[in-house]
Structure 1
Amino acid sequence: MRAVWLREFGGPEVLVPGPAPDPVPGAGQVLIEVAHANLTFVETMFRATGFGPFARELPLIPGNGVGGTIAEVGPGVDPALVGRRVVSSTGGTGGYAERVAVAHDAPLPVPDGLPLDQAVALLADGRTALMLVRAAGLRAGERVLVEAAAGGVGSLLTQLVTAAGARVVAAAGGPRKVALLRGRGLDVVIDYRQPDWPDRVHAATGGLDVVFDGVGGPIARAAFDLLDPGGRMLSFGLAGGTWADLPAEVAAARKVTLLRPSAPPHELRALTEQALAEGAAGRLRPLIGQRFPLERAADAHAAMQSRATVGKTLLDLP
């Protein structure tokens, strides 16, 4: 089968397409014929440095999320699963390939009416966005800043915050992303590459109750300074390269709660199921900003790393 290999850590060019043995589903496993592979920012960090939650033994086929059709089952698995459209985590590796074998209980069925590519776009980002909104305990009328609002998680957060009755301030980097967000119906959109962006947020809101921090670094610190007492700051990404430097004692003095939510596997699975259901019902619309064929995984990583992408980036397999 066709696959993409990582044989050394480094720049995007270390992702090299090549042949790989066809996986065979073992006892308790299913084989997924992959139509779309999900790409996440943490995968670009892992490729560059080996940092992240994935196993470091090289060589390996990267990729932690796929969508496709169950093509075969191993011993002890219900053959009725063959032909089912599913999305699935892979356990950390194997996703950048035409086929992948996973435990039979890893895949989630894709609801009728939800296109498979949208389901893949919701696989990781949807559950993350739902987890963040749940942890924030949003209340109607609150003023909420979503950083990296043109990204995969951020674009979903803007929808969930609006649905909760809160007021969204969307922040993104550069005029292209600002225009995209305005085109998606958001009224208050700020370009955080402009030096006066905190002043603009304050002028529009008078202060903030919640910040969803997907950028980190100085942007996050400036957003923190806009929070009123009793505010909450939830960090979910570091597109800027580093987490925000926010000492706990400073937050306590400001009466701001700092949160970096997580959840055990069974809760993440339930959140993914919820995201898929919301997508099927049309209440959660993932933004798929760019697609690459499998062989151009290196180009996909380069685009994500340069922050030139919007929404979700997918690898498409014919």
Structure 2
Amino acid sequence: MRAVWLTEFGGPEVLVPGEAPEPAPGPGHVVVEVAYANITFVETQFRAGLASGPFRGEPPMIPGNGVGGTVVGVGPGVDRGLIGRQVVGSTGGNGGYAERALVDAAGLYDVPDGLGLDAAVALLADGRTATMLVRAARVRPGDRVLIEAAAGGVGTLLIQLVRATGARVIAAAGGSRKVELVRDLGADLVVDYHDPDWTGRLRATVAMVDVVFDGVGGGLGRAAFDLLGPGGRMVSFGLASGEWADIPDEVAQARGVTLVRPRPSPQELRADTVRALAEAAAGRLRPVIGQRFPLKRAADAHAAMQSRATLGKTLLMVQGITTC
């Protein structure tokens, strides 16, 4: 079967198309014929040798964690009735950039009626993350909520979920294309953080904010923290800058700000995933799929994400697709 190999840790060029043996399902696992593979920012860091996260293994290996497609085989002890079902699920950290992948049967999610398989894959990681973040931050009607990296996969979903709570959405994005996207998604106020005085502009409009969803980290995350008023909450979920905001607990306490560090249980994460898929199937949540790359161009997909030039979600197209 066709696959993409991580030949060594390094730049996007270390992702090389090639052949791989067919996966054989063991007890409790299924084989999914992959139509779409999910790409997350942490995967680009793992490829570079900078993070482990949920991933495991050493090169040479097939990377990829989230997949969507059709169940074509089951291992011992698994219901054969799953064969033919359209599902999404996680590989456990590797094997996703391939025509067929092994997935734990207990971690499968049926694709709801009315929801495209591509949208379901786009929601697998980002949908549960955004749903969990809004719950953890206890967003309330009337809150002023600042969302960094608002044009990314998680950020575009946060805009929609926060709006649904009755809170006011303040979206921070970098560059005119991203600013236009988040404005179209319904953000109440949009700032371009390429503007050196973006925090000054925000202060002049809303004075301070109640919640920060920090998807960038670094200096931008620290600047966002300074916008929080007493009783504010900050949740860090990404480090597009390459580092966390690293706010000391004592500094936050002195300001009366809570640094929210969600630790959801597996059961809560599953419930969040199911809810995100159901909301999308009902038309109340829409993942923005900004880029699609064929499997053989996984290196180009990683390069685009790493350059922060992408909008929304980036997917790999696998079955029967050879051009972008």
Range of TM-score over shorter length: over 0.9
Are 1:39 and 2:39 matched, yes or no?
yes
Are 1:294 and 2:295 matched, yes or no?
yes
1:272-315, Cα deviation, whole Å (9 max, x unpaired): 11111111111111010100000000000000000000110000
Q: Check the 8 A contact 1:50/1:56 in 2, yes or no.
A: no
| 1:280-291 aligned within 5 A | 280-291=281-292
Matched residue, 1:71: 72
Q: Check the 8 A contact 1:236/1:260 in 2, yes or no.
A: no
Q: Check the 8 A contact 2:28/2:104 in 1, yes or no.
A: yes
Q: CA deviation at 1:183?
A: 2.3
1:209-240, Cα deviation, whole Å (9 max, x unpaired): 00000010111111111111110011000011
CA distance in 2, matches of 1:175, 1:70: 41
Matched residue, 1:28: 28
CA distance in 2, matches of 1:50, 1:252: 31
Are 1:116 and 2:95 matched, yes or no?
no
Matched residue, 1:128: 129
Q: CA deviation at 1:50?
A: 5.0
CA distance in 1, matches of 2:85, 2:263: 30
Q: CA deviation at 1:104?
A: 1.9
Deviates more, 1:294-303 or 1:258-267: 258-267
Deviates more, 1:219-228 or 1:23-32: 23-32
| 1:1-318 aligned within 5 A | 1-49=1-49, 51-53=51-53, 54-317=55-318, 318=320
Deviates more, 1:61-70 or 1:100-109: 100-109
The Cα RMSD (Å) is 1.1
Q: Check the 8 A contact 2:174/2:193 in 1, yes or no.
A: yes
Deviates more, 1:168-177 or 1:74-83: 74-83
1:174-224, Cα deviation, whole Å (9 max, x unpaired): 111001222223231100110110011112212100000001011111111
Amino acid at match of 1:123: L
Q: CA deviation at 1:27?
A: 2.9
SS in 1 for 2:285: coil
CA distance in 1, matches of 2:130, 2:199: 24
SS in 2 for 1:124: helix
CA distance in 1, matches of 2:15, 2:42: 15
The gaps in structure 1 that reach 5 residues or longer are none
CA distance in 1, matches of 2:44, 2:117: 23
Q: Check the 8 A contact 2:179/2:191 in 1, yes or no.
A: yes
Amino acid at match of 1:299: D
Amino acid at match of 2:20: A
1:26-53, Cα deviation, whole Å (9 max, x unpaired): 2332110000000000000000015212
1:42-88, Cα deviation, whole Å (9 max, x unpaired): 00000001521211322110000000011122232222111101000
The gaps in structure 2 that reach 5 residues or longer are none
TM-score normalised by length of structure 2: 0.96
SS in 1 for 2:5: strand
Identity of aligned residues (%): 70
